[in-house]
Amino acid sequence: MELYELTVHELRDKLAKKEITSEDITKSYIKRIEEKEPDVKAFVNTTLDDALKNAQEVDKKIKAGENVSSLAGIPIGIKDNICTKGVKTTCSSRMLENFVSPYDATVMEKIKEQDLVMLGKLNMDEFAMGASTEYSYFKKTSNPWDLNKVPGGSSGGSAAAVAADMVPWALGSDTGGSVRQPSSFCGTVGLKPTYGLVSRYGLVAFASSLDQIGPITKDVEDNAILLNIIAGHDRRDSTSANIEKKDYTKALKNDVKGLKIGIPKEYFGEGINPEVKEAVMAVAKKYEELGATVEECSISVTDYALATYYIIACAEASSNLGRFDGIRYGYRTENFSNLKDIYRNSRSEGFGSEVKRRIILGTYVLSSGYYDAYYKKAQKVRTLVKQAFKELFKKYDVLLTPTSPTVAFDIGTRSNNPLEMYLADICTVSINIGGVPAISVPCGLDSQGMPIGFQLIGNHFDEETLYRAAYTYEKNTNFRENKPTFKK
């Protein structure tokens, strides 16, 4: 077995026994990237020379007997909307094509404290707006299972790179499902943490009240390990939760006896692919066999979640992206004769079609005469969604749903139909509105050999129960052993 096929905890154990070096691991991944990147196109840019130097530095520290992290020397990939000092952070947009970040995001500081080795910045939908990674200015990422299909989005580069064994794990960001949905499409494990658990400092904002950085990994144990690294209070983020630091790996117990699982019927209605529904119901049956209590429940307010999400997200995007005007930040047009031309042409040329669409929609719902009718009403519905989750978690430990209504779709089939693309988020957006955590875990393949993922939703700051349930399912099934085919 090649080193790039191993999980992080397997690599960590081999490093601890001195069976391998960080340089060995990094060279293995560099070779894999050189082999598979031309097909998958997961990276916006790679930092392979620096990665090899950093790996060699870690090996020197270990040889010298210095006290280093148990994860020192493990490679990682970073979504390209997370600021990384001295490296381009483009958000896959022409607007930030040449932006080199002068500072590290908090999560990057934590990554560097552990001496992890960054292999590069990963492709995404422009400014994280999309569900397929087709809206990147630079390239369209392909799904490693079928190169003609999308990897999901907006963290499609992160999920595709993990699935293709080009990185052992990666960071993504999740505003309405952008970690979980590509994880479902690519057969990886993706967690959207509770809002406030992971600092947003240094994450280029899309919708500030919804964004959350999350880990994408090969298995549940690696996911818990990466959350251990990135979670924690940050005084530089006013929305960061000041709660006690936890070790999420302690929750990894192969036992769900007595666990109460609710299945919201609204997530299994019209538009859900029959094979996806069948696979997720098989998950419910498996949990019952393992000793959990499973029953149907209702969360009817989710019928309004998609509309609520797009009103709030677009409104916040309109505000957050106002700074990119050709003067203060980002791309500046060469075609201007006055100040108004600079603003108009810089934004017209610098932003892609989906970003413009969301800015226009957000500006509209915030405008005089429409604020009360749309934005204010959406915030009221948001409160109802939070209350609905709160009531359900009085009765259930976790909720079980599909991650996505479908498996990965063909490249180009939805990118010209925004409404159809937005429906890809229907199973995930309510979690961001409610601020609760959720994890996507592989649960099989459809008749075409494409991955299917199920979603577990937990109560605020109860990632431990999610990990326990996900870990137990993973240990009692063999779906993680499925590998991408790179079908052309």
* Mean pLDDT of the chain, nearest integer: 96
Look at the alpha carbons of 95, 101, 103, 104 in this order and tell me if their dihedral is positive or negative.
positive
Give the pLDDT band (50/70/90) at residue 455. very high
**SS3 state of residue 285:** helix
Q: Say if residue 243's pLDDT is above 90.
A: yes
The pLDDT tens digits of the residues spanning 176-229 come to 999 999 999 999 999 999 999 999 999 999 999 999 999 999 999 999 999 999
Q: Say if residue 318's pLDDT is above 90.
A: yes
CA 350 – CA 327 distance, rounded (Å): 12
CA 410 – CA 341 distance, rounded (Å): 38
Note whether residue 240 is domain-resident: yes
Q: Give the Å distances, CA to CA, from 104 to 85, 158, 316, 458, 482.
A: 5, 19, 23, 30, 36
CA 233 – CA 199 distance, rounded (Å): 7
Long-range CB pairs of 332-338, under 8 A, 24+ apart, other chains included: none
Note whether residue 387 is domain-resident: no
Q: How far is CA 105 from its chain centroid? A: 16
Please name the amino acid found at residue 451: P
CA 153 – CA 133 distance, rounded (Å): 5
Q: Which residue, chain included where needed, has tokens 């709660």? A: 243
Note whether residue 189 is domain-resident: yes
Give the pLDDT band (50/70/90) at residue 418. confident
Q: Give the Å distances, CA to CA, from 408 to 307, 363, 393, 403.
A: 23, 31, 31, 12
Q: Strand 169-173 vs strand 117-122: parallel, antiparallel, or unpaired?
A: unpaired
Give the closest residue to 414 by CA, choosing from 145, 134, 39: 134
Give the pLDDT band (50/70/90) at residue 289. very high
The pLDDT tens digits of the residues spanning 347-366 come to 999 999 999 999 999 999 99
Provide the pLDDT for residue 302.
84
Q: Give the Å distances, CA to CA, from 308 to 12, 231, 298, 362.
A: 43, 28, 19, 12
The answer to whether 48 touches 119, Cβ cutoff 8 Å, is yes
Provide the pLDDT for residue 231.
98
3-state secondary structure 162-206: HHCCCCCEEEEECCCCCCHHHHHHHCCEEEECCCCCECCCCECCC
Crossing angle of the two packed helices 22-40 and 8-16, in degrees rounded to 10: 160
pTM of the model: 0.97
Nearby residues of 152 by Cβ (< 8 Å), 6 or more positions away: 131, 132, 133, 143, 159, 181, 182, 183, 184, 185, 186, 404, 408, 424
CA 13 – CA 70 distance, rounded (Å): 9
Q: Say if residue 87's pLDDT is above 90.
A: yes
Q: Say if residue 1's pLDDT is above 90.
A: no
Note whether residue 311 is domain-resident: no
Note whether residue 379 is domain-resident: no
Q: Tell me how many domains the chain contains.
A: 1
**Residues for the chain: how many in total?**
488
Provide the pLDDT for residue 184.
98
Give the closest residue to 123 by CA, choosing from 139, 111, 109, 107: 139
The answer to whether 385 touches 301, Cβ cutoff 8 Å, is yes
Q: What percent of the chain has pLDDT over 90?
A: 94
The answer to whether 127 touches 91, Cβ cutoff 8 Å, is yes
Residues 29-53 have a mean pLDDT of: 98
Give the pLDDT band (50/70/90) at residue 437. very high
Give the closest residue to 157 by CA, choosing from 297, 270, 333, 36: 36
Q: Which residues on neighbouring strands pair with residue 295, listed in sequence order?
A: 262
Where in the sequence numbering do the catalytic residues fall?
79, 154, 178
Provide the pLDDT for residue 263.
98
Note whether residue 424 is domain-resident: yes
Note whether residue 134 is domain-resident: yes
The answer to whether 137 touches 457, Cβ cutoff 8 Å, is no
Q: Say if residue 170's pLDDT is above 90.
A: yes
Note whether residue 288 is domain-resident: no
Bond prior to 154 in cis (omega within 30° of 0): yes
Q: Say if residue 276's pLDDT is above 90.
A: yes
CATH of the domain at 139: 3.90.1300.10
Angle at 436 between CA 435 and CA 437, to 5 degrees: 125
Q: 74 is in which domain, residue-wise?
A: 3-262+394-481
Nearby residues of 452 by Cβ (< 8 Å), 6 or more positions away: 184, 275, 276, 279, 280, 402, 407, 442, 443, 444, 445, 446
